[in-house]
Structure 1
Amino acid sequence: MSFSENKLTVRSSADLATAVPYLIGFHPSDGSIVVIACRDRRIVFAARGDLPAPGSPAHHLRDLTAHLVPIVQRQQPISDLVIVGYGAQGHIDPALRVVGDEFTATGLAVQELLRVTESRIFSLTCDDPACCPPQGTPFDPNTSLVAVHATVAGLVARPNRAAVSSRFTAADSVGAGIRHAMTEATARMAAVETAGSTAVYEAGVHAVRGALRQHDDGTRLTDDEVAWLTVLLTHRPVRDLAVDLTQPHDQHVTFWAEVTRRADEPLVPAPATVLAFTAWRCGDGVLAVMAAERALQVDPDYPLAVLLLQALHTGLPPSVVEQATTGTHPSPFSPNPNISSDQE
């Protein structure tokens, strides 16, 4: 099995267990389930969810599966699935069997059900002790060639979801520097607005192009530049321009993560949404979901963030939202199909 974009080869269940954190962007915690869709022995999609706690009503697990099935079905053509659960046998094994049966009932072929408990992986579908011993197969991600190759390919597996959110959320309130910069930027915007919307847009073009150019050159934005950029992004045409000018690569994901982290709280929705769209285009569904959720924490009705989150939760590609929001042809930027959205 290979990741179709990065050509990372997975030859065993231990390799697959090592690869999962790179597929979803972080190490799954106990109680997680990951559905991996394959096409001709290539991994093309992965979705993660939280299993209901032990003792939960049976319909909670059915509801989770009902949510995951259509997301996976949209990734056609798919040849088969591997479903991986994390945690103790008593909690995970029954849940895996239920989820596997539900997927099978829809006509999707479930190749394997795997449970990861600490540093061992167990197969629920193979009873050959030669390849799948009942005591599990040990694996060490730290010594696996899959981890080495994934790192070389630029894939990152963070310790947990909190480590993902720390990229774009401030550890504490913004400092005095950015607050002073915001006061000046707000006054500056009031002056520009007196000249009309065209003047605001032209200022936005200059600010967005300049900020991206600075980042590409390795220069960090000052507090004044962050404040001015985020004030301008409150104007929809400027935000949409930022989406258009941002390229789907890690450097621009890092740029918008930093702008979102440094933005004054009321101005977070616009840069967080640009970050979400950029991460989505890069195939990082986990970061995209969390950035969109961050935008909606500040403004629950922010339209583009609402639209993005709905699309991410249903497994749609970025081109669908691009067509809906612009009415133009799909973007030439195609998403990396290997790393998909984290389904909560």
Structure 2
Amino acid sequence: MSDDELSRLRINIDRLDREILERLSQRAQCAQRIGEVKEGPLYRPEREAQVLRKIAELNPGPLSGEAVQRVFREIMSWCLALEQPLKVAFLGPEGTFSESAARKHFGGAPELQAQATIDEVFHAVESGAAAYGIVPVENSTEGAVSRTLDLLLASSARICGEVKLRVRQNLLTRLGSIGEIQRVYSHSQSLAQCQDWLTHHLAGVPRIPVASNAEAARLASVEDGAAAIAGEAAAQRYNLAALAANIEDDPNNTTRFLVVGAHDSGQSGRDKTSLACSTPNKPGAVFHLLEAFARHNVSMTKLESRPSRTGLWEYVFYIDIEGHRADTHVAQAFEELEARASFLKILGSYPQAAL
């Protein structure tokens, strides 16, 4: 490439950058105007989901659909901050996968508030200290997060979004070699997700469960002989090196997080609804419940049972279905379900997450 051609390309990039900046300013001004005239919550999950899907569909390349979605997520995040600064609670401390999920869903503009427990995330939302909360609900390897399910049942907070985060686990330490490691800290689920790797590479080394991966990284940063299993955010936060990367046993290891708030979401066109229900313990009772979904062509994506804590061997069923509760066929199924169930709570309708 000649110097003249390189100079022309750089001049063209400078021109395009000015045009992009001008358009960004115009978009931000529109966002400010919306904040002045709109009543109710300004953050609308369904609207953001529609915008991001359309951007991916219109993308001509060479940037990937995921790349342009991430760019536009940040644009929407900072424009929303001009309308209504958001506070978002997440399961802390800083450096957890929950924080990464919050950043993925809300972008870089909101004020993130680390909470010590899942209970405190729900309390922050219920009390109004935070507009939204991010909580883990299930992992593709280790299954459901039972505390989140229990709190969804008891809380007034509603599900208004979901985030799927590809979980890449790393062995983090200040030490120079694996042979120097005397103990490994991590959350119990992360230890389980890396069980085969630990057995093969650190057999006999104690595995110590702690409250979070970030807490594990903190301990590894201050204790001699210690290592942690955690993600890249924790490594950066506590200035640790990764002696081994991507040590999870399942290469597709993914955690699903829920966004909870005072409202659920409107219809985005590609939605999911979560509910909890129970039925008397008698033959055919569960079939009688689920038959309403089949009758109205509603697809279930998840069925989970938890003890109801109201009596011996009585259970609450947690169900995810495709569609929004305002969709006609879903609403008809819920009408039948309400008549058949001894208990029914719709936990929220929200846009389906794209990984």
TM-score normalised by the shorter chain: which range applies?
A: under 0.3
Which structure has greater strand proportion?
2
TM-score (norm 2): 0.23
Q: Which has the higher helix share?
A: 1
